[in-house]
Amino acid sequence: MSDIAFLGAGRMASAIVDGLLSRHVRPPAALHCIDGGDGTAALLAQRTGVHAAADLPALLGPADIVVLACKPQQLATLDPRLAELTAGRLVISILAGKRLARLAEVLPRARNLVRAMPNTPGQIGAGVTAWCARAPLAPADRAAVEAILGALGTVLELAEEQLDAVTGVSGSGPAYVFEFAAALRDAGESAGLPRETAWRLALETLHGSAKLLATSGTAPEALRDQVTSPNGTTYAGLQVLAAGGFRPLLAATVQAATARSRELSRDA
């Protein structure tokens, strides 16, 4: 794999760099970054040893692969020189809501374009990223995409029309989990536990349950039933969730996020 240039040096770019370095995919000297003036590139370079470029020609000169990791709203105001500077290069975009057709308007001479939807657990290498390409990828480019996005965790190739639903499930999903954790903490406190104890119990329950689900190979409904005795305590709690429409509520939550993703993509 050749050198990689990061246009943007924020959390996700830093997470990819950290993953690439920890997995020994590329050495620091083969990774280059630039920011929009917020100083994040210099900080990333100081922390990891990657190269902070002074300008776009210096950033892209040695690179065959470009990762677009700036803010999505900055796409419209990117330096117009990028259209020429990315000619013949593979471009991977992690800009939420920016469709391949829009990326092609800004970067018309790229060798190929990849649109990816990572999520925030990628910051610790525990994320899941769905991606799609504008055209079929050459084997070397496919390997590069999977290695770069794999630095964030699990990687899935999907059709572009599925990425809005991906946004609703895994892109926004961590926020739903964090909200559930906060609600479980607050519920424990309201039941009479000290707040710190309620939080520790909620956190460890979520962590342990997720690990069990991931490692057991058992369906979540089966694991649920293993904990649920007829007319027992868990059954009583689950009855309240069912009566409150827990599953339909979560379905409506994902649908709302998916619909908003479609709106933002159309406006992009």
40 and 119 in a single domain? The answer is yes
**Beta strand spans in 8-161 (E):** 31-34, 51-52, 63-68, 90-93, 112-117, 127-133, 153-157
Give pLDDT < 70 ranges for the chain: 1, 267-268
105 and 184 in a single domain? The answer is no
Decide which of 136, 163, 190 is a domain's last residue: 163
71 and 120 in a single domain? The answer is yes
127 and 211 in a single domain? The answer is no
115 and 189 in a single domain? The answer is no
Between CA 19 and CA 91 the distance in angstroms is 19
Structure confidence by residue, pLDDT tens digits, 64-103: 999 999 988 888 899 999 999 999 999 999 998 899 999 9
**pLDDT given for residue 73 in this prediction:** 86
**pLDDT given for residue 268 in this prediction:** 59
81 and 12 in a single domain? The answer is yes
214 and 159 in a single domain? The answer is no
Between CA 150 and CA 158 the distance in angstroms is 15
CATH of the domain at 183: 1.10.3730.10
**pLDDT given for residue 83 in this prediction:** 94
Q: Is 131 helix (H, G, I), strand (E, B) or coil?
A: strand
CATH of the domain at 152: 3.40.50.720
Flag whether the pTM goes above 0.75. Answer: yes
Between CA 169 and CA 208 the distance in angstroms is 21
Tally of residues, the chain: 268
154 and 178 in a single domain? The answer is no
136 and 183 in a single domain? The answer is no
Q: Which residue has the tokens 């892209």?
A: 60
159 and 52 in a single domain? The answer is yes
11 and 144 in a single domain? The answer is yes
Which residues 6+ apart lie within 8 Å of 202 measured at CB?
A: 181, 184, 185, 188
**pLDDT given for residue 160 in this prediction:** 96
146 and 198 in a single domain? The answer is no
Domain count, the chain: 2
Instruction: Give the DSSP per-residue string, 228-267.
Output: --TTSHHHHHHHHHHHTTHHHHHHHHHHHHHHHHHHHHHH
**What range defines the domain where residue 222 resides?**
171-266
Q: Which residue has the tokens 């922390």?
A: 47
CB 15 within 8 A of CB 125: yes
Decide which of 109, 133, 163 is a domain's last residue: 163
CB 72 within 8 A of CB 89: no
Instruction: Give the DSSP per-residue string, 170-184.
Output: IISHHHHHHHHHHHH
Decide which of 109, 129, 163 is a domain's last residue: 163
Buried b (16+ CB within 10 A) or exposed e, 212-251: eeeeeeeeeeeeeeeeeeeeeeeeeebeeeeeeeeeeeee
